Amino acid sequence: MSSIKYLDEWSVEESFFDPNHLGKYEAIMAQGNGYLGIRNVHEEEYPHEQRNTFISGIFNRFSESEVSELANFPDVTMFEIRIDGELFSLLKGENSNYSRNFNYQTGESYRSFIWSDNLGRKLHFEFRKFVSMYDKHLIMTKVKIKNLGIAVNLSVSSGIDGTKTNSGSQHFEEGDKRYFDNQFLYLHTTTTVSKIPVAIASCLKSSSGVKSRPVMARRKMQEVNSFEMNTGEIFSTTKYSMMRTERDLEYSGDNYLVDDLISSLKTVTQEDYTIHLEKSAQAWAKIWNQKAISIDSEDFLDQLLLNFARYHIHVMSPIHDDRLNIGAKGMSGEGYKGHTFWDTEIFILPYFSYTFPEFAKNLVNYRMKGLSAAKKNAKINGYKGAQYPWESAWLSDGEVTPKWGDIDIITGEPTPILTGEIEHHVTADVIYGIADYLLATQDAEVDEKLFEVVMEAAKFWCSRSTYNREKDHYEILDVIGPDEYKEHVNNNAYTNYLAKFTLDRAIDEYNKKANSEMAVGFQKDIDVIREVARKIYLPQINEQGILPQDDTYLQKRKIDLTKYLNDDKVNTLFLDYNLEQVNNMQISKQADVLLLMLMFSNKFSLKAMRENWNYYYPKTLHDSSLSLSTHCNYALLISEEELAYQLFKKSFDIDLGSNNMASSDMGIHSASMGGIWQNVVRGFGGFALDKDGIVINPKLPAAWRSLIYTVVFRESTVKVCITRNNIKLKILNGAPIKVTIRGKEYHLGDCGLTVTI
With binding defined as CB under 8 A, does residue 170 bind a copy of itself?
A: yes
Nearest to 460 by CA among 547, 367, 549, 381: 381
With binding defined as CB under 8 A, does residue 416 bind a copy of itself?
A: no
* Nearest approach, Cβ of residue 90 and a copy of itself (Å): 9
Residue 483 phi/psi, 5° resolution?
A: -80, 95
**DSSP H or E run through 81:** strand 79-83
- Residue 18, classed as helix, strand or coil, is coil
Instruction: Give the one residue of 105, 205, 214, 554 binding a copy of itself; rule: CB under 8 A.
Output: 214
With binding defined as CB under 8 A, does residue 173 bind a copy of itself?
A: yes
Instruction: Give the one residue of 16, 134, 179, 746 binding a copy of itself; rule: CB under 8 A.
Output: 179
Amino acid at 74: P
Q: Which residues are catalytic?
A: 484
Instruction: Give the one residue of 178, 266, 535, 610 binding a copy of itself; rule: CB under 8 A.
Output: 178
Instruction: Give the one residue of 47, 209, 253, 382 binding a copy of itself; rule: CB under 8 A.
Output: 47
Angle at 653 between CA 647 and CA 658, to 5 degrees: 140
Of the CA atoms within 13 Å of residue 144, those in its CB half-sphere come to: 11
CB-nearer residue toward a copy of itself: 196 or 637: 196
Nearest to 679 by CA among 321, 366, 170, 302: 302
Residue 640 to residue 643: CA distance in whole angstroms = 5
Stretch binding a copy of itself (CB under 8 A), from 163-171, 366-374, 430-438, 613-621: 163-171
With binding defined as CB under 8 A, does residue 382 bind a copy of itself?
A: no
Nearest to 592 by CA among 422, 390, 425: 425
With binding defined as CB under 8 A, does residue 227 bind a copy of itself?
A: no
DSSP conformation letters of 403-458: SEEEEPTTTSSEEEP-HHHH--THHHHHHHHHHHHHHHH--HHHHHHHHHHHHHHH
Nearest to 501 by CA among 398, 595, 429, 575: 429
* Nearest approach, Cβ of residue 540 and a copy of itself (Å): 42
In angstroms, what CA-CA distances link 226 with 194, 276, 428? 39, 27, 60
* Nearest approach, Cβ of residue 187 and a copy of itself (Å): 11
With binding defined as CB under 8 A, does residue 39 bind a copy of itself?
A: no
DSSP designation for 703: T
- Residue 172, classed as helix, strand or coil, is strand
CB-nearer residue toward a copy of itself: 226 or 463: 226
CB-nearer residue toward a copy of itself: 351 or 574: 574
Stretch binding a copy of itself (CB under 8 A), from 100-108, 214-222, 246-254, 469-477: 214-222
With binding defined as CB under 8 A, does residue 174 bind a copy of itself?
A: yes
* Nearest approach, Cβ of residue 115 and a copy of itself (Å): 13
With binding defined as CB under 8 A, does residue 219 bind a copy of itself?
A: yes
Residue 486 to residue 553: CA distance in whole angstroms = 8
With binding defined as CB under 8 A, does residue 197 bind a copy of itself?
A: no
Say if CB 620 and CB 627 are below 8 A apart. Answer: yes
Stretch binding a copy of itself (CB under 8 A), from 273-281, 404-412, 615-623, 706-714: 404-412
Residue 74 to residue 240: CA distance in whole angstroms = 15
Instruction: Give the one residue of 180, 227, 300, 746 binding a copy of itself; rule: CB under 8 A.
Output: 180
According to CB under 8 A, which residues from 87 to 146 bind a copy of itself? 87, 89, 91-92
* Nearest approach, Cβ of residue 186 and a copy of itself (Å): 9
With binding defined as CB under 8 A, does residue 412 bind a copy of itself?
A: yes
With binding defined as CB under 8 A, does residue 406 bind a copy of itself?
A: yes
Residues that bind a copy of itself (CB under 8 A): 19-20, 44-48, 62-63, 65-66, 85-87, 89, 91-92, 162-170, 173-182, 192, 213-221, 334, 406-407, 409, 412-414, 575
